Amino acid sequence: MPLNIIKIMISPIKLIAIIILALSTSNWVFGQEELSKVVNVTLPSNKKKLNKIELSTTSKQRFEKVPFTLPNDKIFQVDNMILSVRDLGRKHGSNRSLEDFKRELMGVYSLNPERIKTNKIITIGNIKVLLVEILNDKEGSFHFYTDYKNDKNFTGQLNFAKADEEDAKSYIETILKSLKFKE
């Protein structure tokens, strides 16, 4: 009789283990990777996730140099463009605002100011976003940075060939309009 009780106790444990395993792998199975812990965002449906090797190969075919990325970036190819996104943080308790960050960033970009085409803070819903467009003779990039929430923000860049500038504007507008801070 005691062995039957053990079998009954093991079955629910196995069932719970199976459920936990299924839930933890469901994002992988269904391809719904969480892009951000800070915001909900919708990326273009025609995106293709890239690893670092694919990024290097694809970028060398389209751009003068491989776009700068960090280890935790999520990288995608959207048509002929490269999109990378990431969550960033600031020192806990820091009062650095998006406006402060913009001044700092423009100090860096001032070393080559003729390349800056757009440099503005816009408000979309309840989120302020710094949007910078950099353009040269052959290619460009949009860089965006959300305001901070709980010392974290969401940022990304979209690299494009100059011929794709209008498509890039359309994609960046769609991405920015979809941003919503998580509660």
Contacts of 99 (CB under 8 A, 6+ apart): 121
Burial classification of residue 78, based on how many CB atoms lie within 10 Å of its CB (0-12 exposed, 13-18 middle, 19 or more buried) = buried
The reported pLDDT for the residue numbered 2 is 54
The reported pLDDT for the residue numbered 126 is 86
The DSSP H or E segment spanning 75 is strand 74-78
The reported pLDDT for the residue numbered 86 is 94
The reported pLDDT for the residue numbered 165 is 95
Task: Kindly list the averaged pLDDT for each block of 10 residues, start to end, along the chain of length 183.
Answer: 51 53 41 77 90 88 83 91 91 81 85 80 93 91 92 93 95 94 86
The reported pLDDT for the residue numbered 125 is 86
How far, in Å, are 4, 13, 24 from residue 136 at the CA level? 75, 61, 44
